[in-house]
Amino acid sequence: MSYHVARQCFEENRTSVGDPASDHQTWNPNNGLANLTTAIEADLAQIKKLLAEILHALRQ
């Protein structure tokens, strides 16, 4: 499973709850996990960019 798919699942779960106040015990963890996977995706993109820059520098 990719981070993108995981995020979609957490967002779907969060959306299915509807109003956060009605079921905060389900909504809060799914919201947090959706946010976490978004952050991981961003960090991974940054790591890939930095690795590409390092590889480019090593080849010169």
User: Which residue ranges make up each domain of the chain?
Assistant: 3-59
What does the pLDDT read at residue 7? 94
Question: What does the chain come to in residues?
Answer: 60
To the question of pTM greater than 0.85 for the whole model, the response is no
Contacts of 27 (CB under 8 A, 6+ apart): 14, 17, 20
Say whether 22 sits in a helix, a strand or coil: coil
What does the pLDDT read at residue 12? 95
Read off the pLDDT of residues 3-53 as tens digits, 9 standing for 90 and up.
Answer: 999 999 999 999 998 888 989 999 999 999 999 999 999 999 999 999 999
